[in-house]
Amino acid sequence: MLVVKDLEVSYGAIKAVHGISLHVDQGEMVALIGNNGAGKTSTLKAITGINTSVKGCIEFNGENITGKPPDKIAARKVAMVPEGRRIFSGMTVQENLDMGAFLRRDAEGVKQDLEMVFNLFPVLGERSKQQGGTLSGGEQQMLAIGRALMARPKILLLDEPSLGLAPILVEAIFESILGINRQGIPILIVEQNVYLALSAATRGYVMESGQIALEGTSQELLANEMVQRVYLGMEED
Average pLDDT of every residue of the chain: 93
Which domain does 137 fall in, by range?
A: 85-147
Our CA angle for 31, 36, 42, nearest 5°, is: 65
Q: Is the pLDDT of residue 164 over 60?
A: yes
What's the pTM value of the predicted model, to 2 decimals? 0.92
Residue 153 domain flag = no
Residue 75 falls inside a structural domain: no
Confirm whether 235 is domain-assigned: no
**Within-domain flag for 20:** no
Judged against a pLDDT cut of 70, whether residue 16 lies above it is answered with yes
Please state, in angstroms and rounded to a whole number, the distance separating the CA atoms of residues 40 and 42. Answer: 5
- pLDDT tens, residue by residue, 33-81: 999 889 999 999 999 999 888 999 999 999 999 999 999 999 999 999 9
Tell me the chain's radius of gyration from C-alpha atoms: 18
**Looking at the domain assignment, is residue 165 inside a domain?**
no
Q: Average pLDDT, stretch 81-96? A: 90
What is the tally of structural domains in the chain? Answer: 1
Domain assignment of residue 8, yes or no: no
Residue 236 forms part of a structural domain = no
Handedness of CA 86, 92, 94, 99 (dihedral sign): negative
Does 205 reside within a domain? no
